[in-house]
Structure 1
Amino acid sequence: MEVGGVFPKTGKGEKLYWSLIIDDDLIQVGLWRMWDGHVNLLFSSNPVTWKTDEELASGADNLLSSAVEFIPTDSIEPKEVVFGIPASWALEGDVKEGYVAKIKLICQELKLTPLGFVVVNEAIAHSLKISGGESLNGILMGITPRLFEVTYYKNGEIVGAESVIRSISVIDDLKEAFLRLGKKEGSLIPRVVLFDNGNHLSGEIKNEIVKYDWQLDGMGFPSDPVVEIIDRETEMTAVCLAGGTELAEVSKLEPTDSSKVEASDLGIFSDEVQPPVIKEPIYNEPQKRKLVLPKLPHFHLPAVKLPTRRVPLMALVGGLIFVLGFVALWLLTTKSEVELVFSPRKVRDAVEVAVNMTGSWDFSQKKVVGKLMAQTVSDEKTATVTGTKITGEKAKGEVTLYRVGEELSIESGTKLVGPGSMTFTFDNPVKIPTGSPSSPGTVKVAVTAVVFGTEYNLAGNSLFKVGNYPQSDIEAKNENAFSGGTRKEVSAISEEDTTSLKKALSEGLVTEAKEKVTGQDTEDFLINEPVNIKINREDFSAKVGDEATSLTLKSEVVVEFLVFPKDETLTFARQLLASKVDTEKFLLRDDLLIVAWSDVVSKKDSYSAIFVAEGSLLPKLNESELVKKIAGRRGSVVKEYLATLPTYSSTAIKITPALSRYVGILPLFPKKITIITNSY
């Protein structure tokens, strides 16, 4: 990676340097050279972790050793190093006392000469301006496993900084930092640039930021922020660029020697060389100041002096024709394409509406007209039953009846109550013959227990009461024990089994119906929650109480959805949002309108619902006037002007042919400028 044209050409040839980026747990090395006004990154290592000072020194040693193979054969191994450190290591233009010893340890162990240091976030901001041609506007955030270091830039100047110790919730941490900045600065520029020294945390943090609705909590953003990631190689290039900026002004650095461990003792500061300014730690109140780097050199064209001797007339005419031809060629061939990217401003509103199946739409009465779309679906589902029931065999036996008196008939099914209130019934009708005290009438009758259970297997000579007859009238007992009574518990279908199976199958059928209707090729707006579900057929494989281990349900249903025509729906949405749009400044585009429905309630012949509309506002541009204003202007001036447009995000300018790009000026004729607008 090469950064060219930013340093004065010294003509001193090629020399190699090291750069070391260190944070709380990672170290990374870069090998670079500065030659003929360029910084050229030859090698950027993967970061390695460290915990102790010994691991820091050995890690740096291993990284430098791995980089040696990238040194050109005609160059010698460098001994000079530029350090990149996080903002939390710096305080008032100096390295904090606790971190000076770590830098000194590396230099002593590896026999390196320190040229200076730079705070990484300031180096990145400077590098973005050098490479992109415009100052940083937005939030630059350094990420470590322990901290979020958040710095807010406006036109390349630090206007606010916050440090937040990380907790479990990324969003809560960022909300704390952004809220502090928003209170100080008001509306925040919706741009967030992340860097992490290669610890691979930026991707995860970006996803968290992008997913969250920053408009919800009033964080100070006029729209959801655009999130960018600075990769580790770009981060390393920024540190090397800062080092190269200093070297472009001095030819030699000599560190002092002292027994006291100070930042100046390491050669990091000297009277001859001023390092890139270190801002205060981001957990203190920041000062507003710029990254101090040398100004770019001014280029002067030599004055043209007319010779004292007469120049041939043809030569003068030829030179004039050449100059005029070049200017004419530039005017006729130069074209430009200016892409404007906007971050739309969101507007939203909701209203309760009456949904009819006939009639016309009426915004003043909040009436809309829809139609029903029916989808028939069928399926079957089997589930394991959870109910149980008691079954078995009923005890049986024979009872002898004794009676004194006239003949008596007793019906089948008459109850016979024995010991413990256990109840039996007559299997058949019987007649007790006439009997006397000396010779009672007797008859035998077969009986069966009314319920299952072994407890009904009564022993012989048990006494019973017959129906409503007193025992003094009829005496009953069994001469032999009852037998055959058993009891067991088995799986059986319960009410809950049928209810849950019906619910599960119904949900599946509704989901299938949704997929079918949403897959249809139509521009109409569909409420994908059904308003009616009609059952055509419902067949269970068994009924409640049946002994079974599983239950199958076959069902066919008709699912109905509400559908609304596209044109009328968009017109209604525009009418709803009209009061929120400044039509002199903004456009409400149909392709950016979002419509939703909720809380649909069915009535007798109609429905009620909540109609929700959300729109994205883009600035109203008069392109013919705009191209007149930017025609013949330098690209950097055009970008500064366009940045004043509402909801502006970024600009990309393409100038053709290649020769015109070096001039860097847009065509003089407006008709040769094309404006392209995009949004995200």
Structure 2
Amino acid sequence: MEISNILGKLRSDSKSKPTPFLALTLTDELVQAAVWQVQAGQTAVIAVGSPVEWDGADNDKSEFLTSCDATISSAIEGLDEEPSEIIFGVADNWTNQEGILPPKLELIKHLSKELELKPLGFVVVSDSLIRYLRLQEGTPTTSILIQITKDLVHLAIIKLGKIEGKESIAKSDDLASDVEEGLSRLADDNPLPSRIIVFNSMHNLDEIVQNLTSFDWKSKFNFLHIPKIESLPKDVVIRSVAIAGGSEVAKAIGFEIHEPLPIKDEELKVSPPAPTEVPDSPSPANLEDDNILLASAEDFGFTTANTPEPEVSPPTSDPSPVTVDPPTPTKKKHRPFKFKKISPPHISLPRFKFHGPKSLVLIPVGAIVILGAIFSAIWLVPKAIVELYIETKSLEEEVNLTLSTEVSSIDLENTTIPASLVEKTVTGEDSIETTGTKIIGDLAEGEVVIYNRTSLPKTFLKDTVLAYGKLKFALVDDVSVASKSAGIDYVDVPGKATTKIVAVSIGAESNLPAGSELVIGSFTKETYVAKNESALSGGSSEEVRVVDKEDLASLKDSLVKKLETSAQAELESTLGDDSGIYILGGGSKITSESYSSELGSPADLLTLTLTINAKGLSYKKHDIEELVASTLEKAIPPGYVRTDSLPVIELNEVKSESENTLTAASKVTVELLPIVDKTSVALSLKGQSSSNVETALSGLAGLKNANVSITPLWLPPRFKRLPKNPNNITVLIRST
């Protein structure tokens, strides 16, 4: 439908009820729906559905469809009109640089077809949440966002509405340690935001907030203040998709949307519906300067041909109250555009004999002068800084070093370095726990009652795993459990079924007492849970520990390395700072060894007492540095230059050639950068748009990405390109 037709409907039907729309969040763990509409120039959520878990398998379209249908049904329950147009909020891991991942896109297409839904667009959850926080708080957020899922902890550092860095950590029992590990990977020398926001769509976060609050963050990281820990409501994700993403859909189909706060020069970007079909996989929504990019329906691979026109209801002028009070719009003030004072070039014009009024003669002259000033400004005013991030190339050079006790100074021609052969006898003791075991016993078994707290029946197959902490059990047979029903006073009564289970591992620890709750598969207890009314029984085990062959070998190897390190430390303590010791790994001789137990003997602990005679070479460090520098200069290929990073030297093998001379085969590694002709780069980039820089430099060896900064900032978007004058382009080379 054309925009003019939509606006015509808006004018002719100004008092009709607001049109409801759907929003649906999609992650690998759960789906959740909401209904939203436009009220008084703002998007408002009018109903939120229950979150429904699913297994997250790309090939299980049936489970995905059933879960989405359940949450949508709970959201639209009681509404006079069922919405059919929908906006999707997808998890970050559902997208890549090319757009929505193909398997995920197939799920969305299948859902839209089966439920007869019309997709309006999609937005990435993290971007909509940052935008939503700005709308709620009136200012771009600066915080650390932490999303808790079943298996992962997702962290994002946000500064003034921009994502500075992201990291995902495998979830453990110690959440504070997980967050500490994630921040260690993200933190740099700059202070971290002193606000930590935790969110999750299924669980109560009070205990998690208390756990994080008790951790000493300020002593571990660079916080200016003790960080404030807070949590968001469970439905914040679906509300952010409906409010932030929904407002863009409303604008695209003709609504006038008012921002809660004035936003200067930061309009939201929309990809409006296109008249033709586009590729199936769109670019994901992104956040740049707090702007959210909403991909249109065609970006999903749907076409607009033969699509029914939506019946759109605009904001009504009826004075009846609404749930959202729009603020008074603030007119934006744009910074006036001014040219620098530029002396126009002298232009010799031909003389024309003009019979009209003399004032008309000045019109073309003035136009030429103005155009000359404009083109002079375009040539002189814009400037740009282009940062090229180029991947380094490792140069590995094999160098044979002769360490000789017979020379007193370095011989560069023969690569000989003076050295001294030293020896040290050391004795030590170490112990390890034995690993040889024998375990016998029986499996625990019994009956459990499975409770279904969802609105859909569920069948669990034989061998489905149930967990009680680290203990695992399996269903003996297939079992079907009815859905929940309404009981007295409309209180939900879960469906239930009794079935047999058996422990996966032998042992008395599987004899669970009566009343124990077990987790079923990957589902949470809020959806499905199992409970035994009687204690499980029959589990038993007996373990015998013995000395294994691997115990003897690993203990000896470990103790030899420790004694060699001890010998090296004792030798280095007698030398100066410029001297180094290389312990000959194959030259250590075991002079005595004694184990506390023999192979196969019953024992919980194995102890070894060992004496070795360690040999090493003493040399001057600056001699090796001088030798390596002269060798590497000859090995650097044409067109490359060394970076400032120090070389890495590994002495791999030492063998004796005579009584006082040893030869070491060493590997020297340095990082190289290709030599870049900055003048040629500037010439190839002149007049290009920022987005076309990497394409224009596609032939540049090792280029990973490029950042472009164009000044002055007040340049209109039409003129915000790299300067036409290559002398105004500064090229900087960065290594990665």
TM-score (norm 1): 0.38
